[in-house]
Chain A
Amino acid sequence: MDLLQVNDLKTYFFTEAGVVKAVDGITFNVEKGCTVGLVGESGSGKSVTAQSVLRIVPRPGKIIGGKIFFNGEDILSKKEDEMRSYRGKKISLIFQDPTSSLNPVFTIGSQLTEIVSQHKGVKKSDAAEEVIKALSLVRLPDPEEALNRYPHQFSGGMKQRICIARALLLNPELLFADEPTTNLDVTIQAQIINLLMELQKNIGLTLVMITHDMGIVTQMCKCVVVLYAGNVMEIGSIEQIFQMPHPYTEALLKAVPRLDQTRKLVSIPGNIPNLINPPSGCRFHPRCQYAIDRCKDEIPPLIDVGDGHMISCHRWRELNGG
């Protein structure tokens, strides 16, 4: 059963420079209890996709088309109040930078208990109980004491644990983790990844793992959605995308992390396209080593090439011996 279905989602930013087509017709499903990887270079629309599902796209962004079903319910047609009761309770989000995603001038306790009381309308002391439980779940040392402390009194890894606890406070069914380890030290990264995998298994969470890191994808995910410039390039199982990848996925897999830069910068020759005037046809064609004239003129549809492996490419069949 699919917990989340995203159909032809379009989210644009209406900026002064023009309309940024950040998410331009994205389709994918997330099976209940699964971990799905959402990968793509910087600016491909990963975060905006997650924000769209929660309907918290910041101005001047707007969801202008498509459908999103959560548990079969059309969430784009819900009233704002009802949608708000979904946020944090049914669908949660954790961010890349734990430091900037905790409010610096409120204690951990006040930030987290507020969420519990907001959704459950319980007393402060009962809410604090639940917060302590969640903080223990993510193995934060001294959870009671942590309630009275401020974000800056914790290390990056601890802050990310707190953010995970915040996202899991109300036992959501679906969790988006938006590059939750990019801003952490390598050893801490591994700890957070392990924690997420463990939580996912133990509490039957459905997890959408947003990342640049193909290593994390192979470690955590069963299924992967590859985005490029606001379009889906490929959807498939780990085996499928490794054995017969889309040309863009192939380039992603081959790309070497540049060690002189932060780890997240993966370099594929050429530049990320401008999303105000995206390339015609296949959006990857200016950088694709297999591009032919047809790629410039015709948008390749996303089609099932067998066993649920979805590909958007004119030449994939030919390149993979069919």
Chain B
Amino acid sequence: MGLAKYVIRRLLYMIPLILGISIVVFLVMYAAGDPIQIATAGNPSITEAQRQFLREYYGLNDPIPVQYVRWLDHFLHFDFGKSLYGGKPVNEIISIYFWETLKLQLVSILLAFAISIPIGVYSAVKQRSWFDYIFSGISIAGVSFPVFFLGIIFILVFSYQLGWLPSAGAHGAPQLWPVFGIQNPFLDELAHLAMPATVLTLAGLAYNTRLLRAGMLEVLRQDYIMAARASGIPERKILLKYALKNAIMPLITLLGMSIGFAIAGAPATETVFSWPGLGRAYVTAASRLDFPLIMGITMIITIMILVANLITDISYAAIDPRISID
């Protein structure tokens, strides 16, 4: 009962937020300029009459409130309209990019989460050992290093020098990428995923590891850890069960938030690897003032972040009995 009610209440709270964000983005977008002007700027043969026709066609001449209500009406029917470029339905564009971004991000986030656990725990347990110093160094570098730069190095080394991995895209075009001489759609996807996922994993790993290491150091000082030792519980169980479950809390929050923000994509990384993802599409849409696409992607990102926050809060309450959802 409690959980369902809580979820419903949180979902209701999202409505004004989503509306508010859509209005703000809508207004900012219109203040930014005329998309038809931008779209046709490169074409000297186009006439003002033709431009006017295009504005009329996309409904850009109506008063802004009218346009907004029309947009909202479509949105409530799960329709984001058509892109100003190529006229493809925004829903279709998003559904392609969404999965590519989600795939790349989920793989990276989960890898970073999983790998950071042994490293974070071991660094805390062996505090001030060479292992700790080396990984702390890598983490600090990883946090402060712009990841897309690493992406460029990867492409230079693994694509151009060694020719092992494809440098762009998410799928083999025009043909499947051979992995150890085998051409298989799944291996092809893996080959395309390898570099961008590694770059994003490294970026996340650095932060996760630091967070977990700090959490473990804090938890290992607590009396309940000494109490477990005083009761004859083996050290391995103390670390991996009693300490870890407490120390992993901040990481769970981070995990939830990063899955939410993941849909915003990683524009820099997606651009470096020409990844057909939402992040890159968003940047492109913004630079061309492709109104329907901007609005569509904004809404998807907003909803994903809000839902991910909700899931984070619920999982937090599930792990920590002191936190109750209400």
Please list the residues of chain A having a beta carbon within 8 angstroms of any beta carbon in chain B.
51, 54, 56, 58-59, 84-89, 92-93, 95, 97, 100-107, 111, 114-115, 118-119, 150, 152, 163, 166-167, 169
Contact = CB atoms under 8 A, between A and B. Distances in A.
A105 B319 contact: yes
A106 B227 CA distance: 14
Nearest to B220: A58
B228 interface: yes
Interface in B214-253: 221-224, 226-234, 237, 242, 245-246
Contact of B232 (A89, A102, A106, A107): A89
A100 B233 CA distance: 17
B222 A88 contact: no
Contact of B223 (A95, A118, A150): A95
B230 A87 contact: yes
Given A118-B233, A118-B234, A97 B320 contact: no
B181 interface: no
Contacts of B229: 54, 56, 87
Contacts of A119: 232
Given A87-B230, A88-B232, A166-B231, A97 B223 contact: yes
B322 interface: yes
In the complex, which of the residues B127, B222, B320, B321 has the most CB atoms of chain A within 10 Å of its own CB atom? B321
Contact of A56 (B221, B226, B234, B237): B226
Interface of B: 127, 221-224, 226-234, 237, 242, 245-246, 319-322
A85 B232 contact: yes
Contacts, number: 77
Given A103-B224, A103-B228, A84 B234 contact: yes
Contacts of A167: 231
Contact of B320 (A104, A111, A163, A169): A104
Contacts of A51: 226
A49 B223 CA distance: 16
B232 A100 contact: no
A166 B228 CA distance: 10
19 contacts: A51-B226, A56-B229, A84-B232, A88-B232, A95-B227, A100-B224, A101-B223, A101-B224, A102-B227, A103-B228, A105-B246, A115-B232, A118-B232, A150-B321, A150-B322, A163-B227, A166-B227, A166-B231, A169-B231
A51 B223 CA distance: 12
Given A84-B232, A88-B230, A93-B230, 17 more contacts: A54-B229, A58-B221, A87-B229, A92-B230, A100-B222, A104-B224, A105-B322, A106-B242, A107-B321, A111-B228, A114-B233, A114-B237, A115-B233, A150-B321, A152-B322, A163-B227, A166-B227
Contacts of B234: 84, 118
Contacts of A115: 231-233
Closest A-B pairs by Cβ, 10 of them: A88-B231, A87-B232, A101-B223, A150-B321, A88-B232, A93-B230, A100-B223, A103-B224, A101-B227, A56-B229
A104 B245 CA distance: 10
A115 B242 CA distance: 13
In the complex, which of the residues A97, A100, A152 has the most CB atoms of chain B within 10 Å of its own CB atom? A100
A103 B232 contact: no
A51 B225 CA distance: 13
B257 to A, nearest CB: 21
A172 to B, nearest CB: 10
B265 to A, nearest CB: 34
A169 B224 CA distance: 16
A93 B224 CA distance: 12
B229 to A, nearest CB: 4
A92 B246 CA distance: 24
In the complex, which of the residues B222, B227, B322 has the most CB atoms of chain A within 10 Å of its own CB atom? B227
Contacts of B223: 95, 97, 100-101
B17 to A, nearest CB: 31
Contacts of B230: 54, 56, 87-88, 92-93
Contacts of B228: 103, 111
Nearest to A54: B230
A90 to B, nearest CB: 9
A87 to B, nearest CB: 4
A75 to B, nearest CB: 13
A148 B9 CA distance: 29
Contacts of A59: 127
Nearest to B248: A105
Contacts of B321: 104-105, 107, 150, 152
A184 to B, nearest CB: 15
Nearest to B222: A100
B237 to A, nearest CB: 8
Given A51-B226, A97-B223, A100-B222, A105 B231 contact: no
A56 B230 CA distance: 7
Contacts of A166: 227, 231
In the complex, which of the residues B232, B234, B245, B322 has the most CB atoms of chain A within 10 Å of its own CB atom? B232
Nearest to A93: B230
A105 B245 CA distance: 7
Contact of B227 (A58, A93, A105, A107): A93
B274 to A, nearest CB: 44
A277 B204 CA distance: 45
Nearest to A81: B234
